[in-house]
Structure 1
Amino acid sequence: MDKITFLNELEQELERLPRQERDKIMFEYESYFFDLEKNGKNEYQIMGELESPKVIGKEIKAKNAISYAEYKTNAKTIIRAIIASLGMGIFSLLLILIPMVFIACIMFVLLLVSFMMFISPLLLIVHGVINHNISLAISNYLFAFSYSGLGIVLFVLILKLAELVYRAILKYLRWNIKTIKGSAVE
């Protein structure tokens, strides 16, 4: 493979990035080749020091997805960052995807519990209307409203937990990229 083929393959790997970002990266690699060729190295020696365009492209796309997830915090961006990082190795699949599915299931169940607790006064009234037995005991309604408050508190705790998990995922993804890049250099 020669320099032109290398650069073309790299540009193809980066085709999903915004044009400005892709042009910036391509300029950096072209400058890298130019500088080292100016210092006496040939293009084959330079390419021997670099990873394949496919590996470089995956790494750049993963870094880009992680940066975007840090900038715009929502489920779509974190999933995109996770998928981009999964492309870098099967080990990531075990350390990211399996725990994420487990955590997502737990959080979904907690959200359902929170919602059911929140609407407990309404459920109490509906239950009384359906069974033609509306309770006049004020304690039932007070307990129902206290469950509503607990549902709100649980919902807030789930949001804080989601924020913590989001940060932990991004931190792990950044560490994972550094580790993979570090092991490739050694």
Structure 2
Amino acid sequence: MDKITFLNELEQELSGLPRSERDNVMYEYEQYFFEQESDGKNEYQIIGALESPKQIGKEITARNAIDTAEHLTNARTILRAITASLGMSILSLIIILIPMIFVGGFMLILLFAALLFFLSPILLLVHGLMNHMLSMAISNYLFALSFTGLGMVLFVTIAKLAELVYRLILKYLRWNIRTIKGRADK
């Protein structure tokens, strides 16, 4: 593979990045080639010392997705970061994806329970009206209102748990990239 082919393949791998990011990366690699050629190396020696364009592209794309997820905290950006990192190693699949299915399922169950608790006064009234057994006991409504408070506390707990999981995922993804990069450098 020659320099032009290498740079073309790298640009192809970076096609998912914003144009300015892609241009910066391409400029850095062109500059790297220029410096190495000035030191007397030929393009085949330079390419031999580098990773493949595909691996470089995956790493840069993953790093960019993680940076974006740190600045724009939402489910879409974290899923994009996880997806980009999955392409780098099978370890990510085992350590991130499988536990995320369990954590996500657990959080959905908690969210459903919080919603039921929050809506318990309305559910109590609807149940009473449908069965023609509208309760006059004030204690039933007080318990239903306390469940509403419990539902609100559960919503806040779920939000804090989601924030913690989000930060842990980002830390792991950064660690994963450093580990893979370190392994490739050796």
Settle same-fold status: TM greater than 0.5: yes
1:29 partner amino acid: Y
Specify the alignment match of 1:76 in structure 2: 76
May I ask how many residue pairs the two structures share in their alignment?
186
Q: Provide the identity percentage.
A: 68
SS in 1 for 2:125: helix
Equivalent in the alignment of 2:92: 92
Task: State the partner residue of 2:111.
Answer: 111
Cross-structure match for 1:26: 26
1:157 CA drift (Å) = 0.2
Superposed displacement of residue 40, structure 1? 1.3
Q: Report the AA paired with residue 115 of structure 1.
A: L
For residues 124 and 20 of structure 2, what CA distance do their matches in structure 1 show?
58
Deviation readout 1:136-171 (Å, 9 max, x if unpaired): 111111000000000000000000000000000000
Q: Distance in 2 between matches of 1:24 and 1:88?
A: 22
Q: Distance in 2 between matches of 1:95 and 1:184?
A: 20
**Separation in 2 of the partners of 1:121 and 1:91?**
47
Partner in structure 2 of residue 55 of structure 1? 55
Name the SS for the 2:41 alignment partner.
coil
User: Which residue number in structure 1 is paired with residue 145 of structure 2?
Assistant: 145
Q: CA deviation at 1:91?
A: 1.5
Aligned-pair CA distance for 1:44: 1.3
Please state if 1:38 is matched with 2:38: yes
Which position in structure 1 is the counterpart of 2:13? Answer: 13
1:96-139 Cα distance to aligned partner (Å, 9 max, x none) = 10001110000000000000000000011111101111111111
Distance in 2 of aligned mates of 1:19 and 1:158: 37
* Counterpart in the other structure of 1:64: 64
SS at match of 1:173: helix
Structure-2-length-normalised TM-score: 0.99
Runs of 4+ more than 6 Å apart: none
Partner amino acid for 1:104? Answer: G
Query: Which AA in structure 2 matches 1:185?
Result: D
Q: Which residue of 1 aligns with 2:4?
A: 4
1:157 corresponds in structure 2 to 157
Amino acid paired to 1:157: T
TM-score normalised over the length of structure 1? 0.99
Q: Following the alignment from structure 2 to structure 1, what is the Cα–Cα distance between the partners of residues 105 and 170? A: 19
Give the whole-Å Cα distance in 2 for the aligned partners of 1:111 and 1:83: 25
Distance (whole Å) between structure 2 residues aligned to residue 88 and residue 169 of structure 1: 15
Q: Which amino acid aligns with 1:39?
A: D
- 1:143 maps to amino acid: F
- The letter for the 1-side match of 2:66 is I
The SS at the match of 1:102 is helix
